[in-house]
Structure 1
Amino acid sequence: MAEIKNCLLPDDLYYSVENNVWVRDLGDGTISLGMTDIAQTLAGSVIHCKPKAAGKKVKANKSIATVESGKWVGPVKCPFSGEIVAVNEQLAQDATILNKSPYKEGWIVKVRPDNLEGDLANLAKGADAIPGFEAYMAEKELGECIHCEGFDG
């Protein structure tokens, strides 16, 4: 697992630095998508997550969900076009999953991308994302990632 300033970046995931999201290839033509450790730190304690519904079409770099925390409300953007095929229903009951387990239980949606191979080729994988996130963290003046009690990556 790659790590920068206490921020974790699992090696098996793809990353969109500009959208601050991770993508997991599920091997069946779909991906799961969620917020990075860096995104959950910047947001603070998440109190609400409203994903778009399954069946909705998404466009590249447009919102697939709205996340609200005590200090931020904003979109979670998908780095490519496709169709949402599933949403994480657990988030409606406990949005802090995005803080506690951003890479495991904290997936937000599953998407069937229009061009999976081409889209993944445009993302950084694992440690290859470190330089981009280092620059992003410097721009946002983020010293290090903060993990809540019970954090499970």
Structure 2
Amino acid sequence: MGVVRGCEVPEDLLYNIDNNVWIRKESDGTATVGLTSYACSLAGQIVSYTPKKVGKAVKKDKSCATVESGKWVGPAKTPVSGEVVATNDAVAAKPGLINEDPYGEGWLVKIKPDDWDGETGDLKTGGDALAAFEAKMDSDGFGGC
């Protein structure tokens, strides 16, 4: 587990640094998408989660869910295009799970990717992700999680 300014950054996930989201390819070919701990820290306590419906097509860098906190409402942007195949009922019942466990129980949607290999080339992982988050936090003037 990597840590940048107190924010956990699992090094085995792929990240879209600008959009503060992660994605993980599952053994069944689907991909799980979630917010980073950095995004959770910026947003504050999340109070609402509205995912796109199962069966809905989503485009890379467009919303796969809307999340709302006391100080922010906005889209969680998917790192790849595809079809939403699952939403997180546990998060729908308790949106704060996103803050409590952003890389586990707090995932947002599962997607069947249209072009995994073609669309994940620009995502960061491992040490590259840690360095990119450090640079983003620095430019954002972020003190830490």
Name the TM tier (shorter chain): over 0.9
- 1:112 partnered with 2:115: no
Which moved further from structure 2: 121-130 or 18-27? 121-130
Per-residue Cα deviation, 1:23-59 (whole angstroms, up to 9, x for no partner) = 1110222100000010000000000011111100001
Percentage of matched positions with identical amino acids: 48
Say yes or no: does 1:10 pair with 2:25. Answer: no
Aligned to 2:53: 53
How far apart are 1:18 and its partner, in Å?
A: 1.1
Secondary structure (helix, strand or coil) at the match of 1:121 reads coil
Please give the TM-score of this superposition, normalised by the length of structure 2: 0.95
Q: Secondary structure at the match of 1:104?
A: coil
- The alignment covers a number of residue pairs equal to 145
Cα shift at 1:126: 2.4
Residue 119 of structure 1: how far off its partner (Å):
2.2
Q: 5+ residue gaps in structure 1?
A: 146-153
Give 1:62's aligned amino acid.
Answer: K
Ranges in structure 2 where 5+ consecutive residues have no aligned partner: none
Q: Post-superposition shift, 1:99?
A: 0.4
Tell me the CA shift for residue 78 of structure 1: 0.6
Runs of 4+ displaced beyond 6 Å: none
Using the TM superposition, give the Cα deviation of residue 117 of structure 1 relative to its aligned residue in structure 2, in angstroms: 1.8
Q: Which residue of 2 aligns with 1:64?
A: 64
Tell me which residue corresponds to 2:29.
29
CA contact (8 A) 1:29 1:116 kept: no
Task: Measure, in 2, the Cα distance between the counterparts of 1:131 and 1:139.
Answer: 12
Equivalent pair of 1:31/1:111 in contact (CA under 8 Å): yes
Superposed CA deviations along residues 63-104 of structure 1, whole A, max 9, x for unmatched, are: 011100001111100122111110001111100000000001
- On the 8 A contact 1:32/1:109 being kept in 2, the answer is yes
**Whole-angstrom CA distance in 2 between matches of 1:137 and 1:100:** 21
